[in-house]
Structure 1
Amino acid sequence: MDAAAVRTWCSLTLQALGREREEIDAINVYPVADGDTGTNLYLTAESAAQAVEAVFAAHGTRDTAPSSADVMRAMAHGALIGARGNSGTILAQLLRGMAERLEAGDHLAGALRRAAELAREAVAHPVEGTILTVAAAAADAAGDAAGAPADVCRAAYAGARAALDATPGQLEVLGRAGVVDAGGRGLLAVLGALVEAVCGEAPPAFGTGRPARPLPQEPGPCDAAGPAFEVIYLLEAEAGAVAALRERLDALGDSLVVVGGDGLWNVHVHVDDAGAAVEAGVEAGRPYRIRITHFGAAAVPAAREQAQRAVVAVVPGAGLPALCAEAGATTVPTRPGEPPASGELVDAIRRAHAREVVLLPNDPLLRHTAAAAAEQARAEGMRVALIPTRSPVQGIAALAVHEADRSFDEDVVAMTAAAGATRCAELAVAERQSWTSAGVCQAGDVLGLIDGDVAVIGQDVTGTAVAVLDRMLSSGGELVTLVLGDATPAELAVRLEAHVRDTHLAVDTVTYDGGGAAPLLIGVE
């Protein structure tokens, strides 16, 4: 496959998954019936396509075109960093296996074989009747085929299709639901795009893929409620540390898939303790782009029932996403300098699987982005309320009073009032000399910002934090919320809690870890 063929394959894959996304979502019953396999595969392919186009754009000003190895590596890398869900993570590993062998000069059948092997190795407990089975069948059929690449592609597709047809007989939950495996169905779309890219024409359509009979109303033994959270993150770590991470995560939950290599990994697991899964990543290396999704009510055979109401919160750091997810929110974690785009917020609103959604941006700079996302979600038929929270501490206050049982309007009013009654502050370190509302600061000074304005200029974090707290509590307050930055020692919270207890009677203090790059976030209700 030359560079142009790989690019065409990637583009056709995105188109195919875009057409079939809702159909694949509708038959998603394993490993969790959350109705998002098609969407996850599409978003993974979208990231791969963006990486491929970036390679061609980079060569646009040069005399040479990218090599097929360059493009295949980009496709695999893009899928790795953008992988969503169990199926998307496995697809990224399949592409990595293909890239590895094609770069080494192997033929297509060998590349498909390596892809199937790597994907199976990445899954902690492989199960037959899934995308892994379909990938292995495609590789076997390709290996048995002789002749031109077109013949190999057609054979791989035919083998995958036959294996997909057989999945309801291999996995009980599929048989009872009367559907084929959703991940395998998505892989068939990817292989169909490969056939079209190489042969010039698409294979015959697979069919609707929708349930052939009504889904059972009573859950069977394979439908027992699973872990509450899906945790996904990218991880920069050495291979040895990742091996230990696999063992720890395997003990914490299920659906564990770890893909990647060369220092960059994509980690996917279903757990009840989202914080422990993130902490395991911190011990192994540097996790980022952390995504935590609350599955909500127990899965049902057809698809996760759409909840009446959900909360979507944008939160920084490693600890706050887990905290908000445990409170029932769908989170959009952020890193310094990497604010989410409106498309990511819309995706999070969709992942919440609710008719009514409360959106908490928790950052004044996201006001317009969040408004655009809310408007797009409304156009898709969802009822979305945007509460303009300016800080994660306001989001925590709003989430604390959220009650899904009351009317939507009453809930939004209560959450808005709680956020509005919370004054927010944060500490930051000055990067250079500049004028502020509190005077001139020098590089290295610690700045205390209250409601967005510099109010205190100090020489150390503790002294500045105490001054900020005293100023905020001078007008009264009942509860102080402290959110320590990812690199802030816990001793700071101990000293601040003691100060509040000794100097401000009848004021309670609560502390949370992992609030991002800011040394400290403060909320006063």
Structure 2
Amino acid sequence: MPFNRSQGGRQVPQTLDAVAVRTWCSLALEALGKAREEIDAINVYPVADGDTGTNLYLTVESAVQAVEAVFTAHGTVTGAEPSVPALADTVRAMAHGALIGARGNSGTILAQLLRGMAQVLSGPAADAEALRRALRRAAESAYQAVAHPVEGTVLTVATAAAEAAEQTRGDAAAVVRAAYEGARTALDLTPGQLAVLGRAGVVDAGGRGLVAVLGALVEAVSGEAVAVHRRRPPAPLPAGDDCPADEWADAVQEGGPAFEVIYLLEADDAAVARLRRRLDGLGDSLVVVGGDGLWNVHVHVDDPGAAVEAGVEAGRPYRIRITHFAADRLAPPRERAQRAVVAVVPGEGLAGLCAEAGATTVLARPGEPPASGELAEAIRRAHAREVVLLPNDADLRHTAAAAAEQVRAEGVRVALIPTRAAVQGIAALAVHEPERRFDEDVVAMTSAAGATRYGELTVAERQSWTMAGICQAGDVLGLIDGDVVVIGSDLTAAARTVLDRMLAAGGEMVTLVLGEEAPAGLAEYLEAHVRESHLAVDTVTYDGGRQSSPLLIGVE
């Protein structure tokens, strides 16, 4: 196997193997991080909402997390033996991660491009011919995913990359470099293919992002970094299409749907085919990507409820995101607030509760923790000079710290309070006073969170060793401050035991957050038990909705 120069202390094979895919994802995320603001700034099609760079970054960040999880799991299974996962497993993880984390029109299309590549790549490593076929399949599947393809967009750039790769007879490194150069050339031509780009004097933002991703692929395969893309002046518009530069925004915004709707959908192929037809009649910018029972649906509509209802009829939609374009595009810039709170919450019920308290919320669904880019966007969305960040999960500490650093570099003062559970976040929010000095408010919120012990009732998914002994799949586990202290068969009995142990050290207030899987009457039973067994202790109960645990407990 031919090798190129070393990269990061390792020799770089001029093929695409699992390690190269991992490197590609990391380099692509780094490249998009550097280009994010530039890409956001040139985002004028299909909607001038200035978020294409951010959406691409969040999509690739999700792909990176999925690939890292495969490497971690593979190492756990194989023990101390030095080995890596198979190429097919790695590229499937990359594509799946991009699918479930896809944001916006551009991120959804990128997810389909990666899925197309994953459908072709297999074996221990992909050679030049495999990469040619993968790039062609990527471009074709992306076109098929878009209801009404438009030239001068990322689709055009992807096709040009595939064509350039097919015309190159060199090794894998030569193929991916040709694809990159073909994409760069096509990107420079997009202002002459799509009038709105020519009016704004910009290239297609999604295509610009794809060029960054392909540049990362070149470096991952060859070990040689590519030059940062610098666009040539846009091609002239055809006669009659020109308009004054200061009118391009009005041309983009006029007449488009008011909402962007995105959701993941579990459904079969026949149901998705019907869904495509229905959504195509409701709006535009329709992109449906995925397969094998899991899809990512993206559409721009005036009636978001109808778009979600169509998903319910097709299967099970979840991770639903609705963005109101009209408010973002047409409202005058609003003044920054002095202070805001951003809180990660494990369920819809707590999201509503924290929002009522004035916090900007980020929903962490079971098995789907938010990425640092998502937290950073939530901090920006809070639109304040000072922001208090409540991760409410011990495992999110490093992710939250990375998000805080990103936004601090933009001039926002961010304080990270290391809350390890949602009930600690509730306690911190309860003492939040925006009128106080920032440092004093942070100290008070930190003290309230630190004075709150947290418990959790959950169900074991597999046999495992715990501090309380060996549990079996289906056992009820009671945790205090993250450690298993009770293993039982009845959730109500285990909850009572956990609550008694937590109150044995004293307490004045009990907070109960019930998930939708909590047994009926649990809250009333525990409230009565506290009244009878622990005098002078108050209890407050919240509906957590769909969350990772049937019951969360806080004791202050």
Write out aligned runs for 1:205-354 (5 A).
205-207=229-231, 221-222=253-254, 226-227=258-259, 239=269, 257-263=287-293, 265-266=295-296, 284=315, 298-300=327-329, 308=337, 310-316=340-346, 329-331=360-362, 333=364, 335=366, 344-345=371-372, 348-353=375-380, 354=383
| Alpha carbons 2:372, 2:403 under 8 Å: kept | yes
Work out the CA distance in 2 between the residues paired with 1:410 and 1:252: 50
Residue 483 of structure 1 pairs with residue 507 of structure 2: no
Q: Tell me which residue corresponds to 1:116.
A: 139
Amino acid paired to 1:513: G
Range that drifts further, 29-38 or 463-472 = 463-472
Please report how far the alpha carbon of residue 111 of structure 1 lies from its aligned counterpart in structure 2 after TM superposition.
4.9
Work out the CA distance in 1 between the residues paired with 2:249 and 2:514: 45
Please report how far the alpha carbon of residue 239 of structure 1 lies from its aligned counterpart in structure 2 after TM superposition.
4.2
Work out the CA distance in 2 between the residues paired with 1:291 and 1:100: 27
Write out aligned runs for 1:11-410 (5 A).
11=24, 16-30=31-45, 35-42=50-57, 44-45=59-60, 51=67, 76=95, 79-80=98-99, 83-100=102-119, 111-123=134-146, 130-136=153-159, 142=164, 148=169, 153=179, 156-157=182-183, 160-166=186-192, 169=195, 171=196, 177-191=200-214, 205-207=229-231, 221-222=253-254, 226-227=258-259, 239=269, 257-263=287-293, 265-266=295-296, 284=315, 298-300=327-329, 308=337, 310-316=340-346, 329-331=360-362, 333=364, 335=366, 344-345=371-372, 348-353=375-380, 354=383, 355-364=385-394, 370=400, 374=404, 377-378=407-408, 381-396=411-426, 398=428, 408=438
Amino acid paired to 1:182: A
Work out the CA distance in 2 between the residues paired with 1:442 and 1:199: 47
| Alpha carbons 2:257, 2:283 under 8 Å: kept | no
Q: 1:281 to 1:402 in 2, by over 3 A?
A: farther
Q: 1:225 to 1:399 in 2, by over 3 A?
A: farther
Work out the CA distance in 2 between the residues paired with 1:428 and 1:53: 23
Q: 1:183 to 1:509 in 2, by over 3 A?
A: same
| Alpha carbons 1:94, 1:118 under 8 Å: kept | yes
After superposition, what is the alpha-carbon deviation per residue over 1:409-459, rounded to whole angstroms, capped at 9, x for unaligned?
5765775577578775432468789887xxx99978756556668898876
Amino acid paired to 2:110: L
What TM-score comes out, normalization by structure 1 length?
0.65
Amino acid paired to 2:550: P
| Alpha carbons 1:33, 1:301 under 8 Å: kept | no
Work out the CA distance in 2 between the residues paired with 1:306 and 1:4: 52
Q: Tell me which residue corresponds to 1:511.
A: 543
| Alpha carbons 2:152, 2:191 under 8 Å: kept | no
Q: 1:199 to 1:231 in 2, by over 3 A?
A: same
Write out aligned runs for 1:405-420 (5 A).
408=438, 412=442
Does the residue aligned with 1:352 lie in a helix, a strand or coil? helix
Does the residue aligned with 1:300 lie in a helix, a strand or coil? helix
Q: 1:128 to 1:157 in 2, by over 3 A?
A: closer
Q: 1:476 to 1:312 in 2, by over 3 A?
A: closer
Q: 1:521 to 1:76 in 2, by over 3 A?
A: closer
Amino acid paired to 1:206: R
Please report how far the alpha carbon of residue 360 of structure 1 lies from its aligned counterpart in structure 2 after TM superposition.
0.9
| Alpha carbons 1:223, 1:301 under 8 Å: kept | no
Work out the CA distance in 2 between the residues paired with 1:300 and 1:395: 33
| Alpha carbons 1:116, 1:132 under 8 Å: kept | yes
Q: 1:262 to 1:154 in 2, by over 3 A?
A: same
After superposition, what is the alpha-carbon deviation per residue over 1:118-164, rounded to whole angstroms, capped at 9, x for unaligned?
2233345656654234435656x659x86746697488436622552
| Alpha carbons 1:493, 1:511 under 8 Å: kept | no
| Alpha carbons 1:80, 1:93 under 8 Å: kept | yes
Please report how far the alpha carbon of residue 253 of structure 1 lies from its aligned counterpart in structure 2 after TM superposition.
8.9
Q: Tell me which residue corresponds to 2:14.
A: 4
| Alpha carbons 2:342, 2:378 under 8 Å: kept | no
Please report how far the alpha carbon of residue 194 of structure 1 lies from its aligned counterpart in structure 2 after TM superposition.
6.7
Please report how far the alpha carbon of residue 91 of structure 1 lies from its aligned counterpart in structure 2 after TM superposition.
1.3
| Alpha carbons 1:292, 1:330 under 8 Å: kept | no
Work out the CA distance in 1 between the residues paired with 2:222 and 2:440: 57
Task: Please give the root-mean-square deviation of Cα atoms over the aligned residues, in Å.
Answer: 6.2
Please report how far the alpha carbon of residue 331 of structure 1 lies from its aligned counterpart in structure 2 after TM superposition.
1.6
Please report how far the alpha carbon of residue 476 of structure 1 lies from its aligned counterpart in structure 2 after TM superposition.
5.8
Range that drifts further, 177-186 or 7-16 = 7-16
Work out the CA distance in 1 between the residues paired with 2:82 and 2:467: 45
| Alpha carbons 1:225, 1:299 under 8 Å: kept | no
| Alpha carbons 1:254, 1:270 under 8 Å: kept | yes
Work out the CA distance in 2 between the residues paired with 1:505 and 1:63: 55
| Alpha carbons 2:55, 2:103 under 8 Å: kept | yes
Work out the CA distance in 2 between the residues paired with 1:381 and 1:54: 36
| Alpha carbons 1:168, 1:180 under 8 Å: kept | no
Q: 1:202 to 1:469 in 2, by over 3 A?
A: closer
Q: 1:348 to 1:447 in 2, by over 3 A?
A: closer
Work out the CA distance in 1 between the residues paired with 2:554 and 2:222: 59
Work out the CA distance in 2 between the residues paired with 1:468 and 1:53: 32
Does the residue aligned with 1:96 lie in a helix, a strand or coil? helix
| Alpha carbons 2:343, 2:425 under 8 Å: kept | yes
Please report how far the alpha carbon of residue 359 of structure 1 lies from its aligned counterpart in structure 2 after TM superposition.
1.1
Q: Tell me which residue corresponds to 2:8.
A: none
What TM-score comes out, normalization by structure 2 length?
0.62
Q: Tell me which residue corresponds to 2:490.
A: 460
% same residue: 52
Q: Tell me which residue corresponds to 2:237.
A: none
Work out the CA distance in 1 between the residues paired with 2:216 and 2:478: 55
Work out the CA distance in 1 between the residues paired with 2:227 and 2:351: 43
Does the residue aligned with 1:298 lie in a helix, a strand or coil? helix
| Alpha carbons 1:48, 1:77 under 8 Å: kept | yes
Please report how far the alpha carbon of residue 522 of structure 1 lies from its aligned counterpart in structure 2 after TM superposition.
3.5
Please report how far the alpha carbon of residue 339 of structure 1 lies from its aligned counterpart in structure 2 after TM superposition.
6.8
After superposition, what is the alpha-carbon deviation per residue over 1:233-258, rounded to whole angstroms, capped at 9, x for unaligned?
6x776545655776898899986644
Q: Give the unaligned 5+ runs of structure 1.
A: none
Please report how far the alpha carbon of residue 167 of structure 1 lies from its aligned counterpart in structure 2 after TM superposition.
5.6
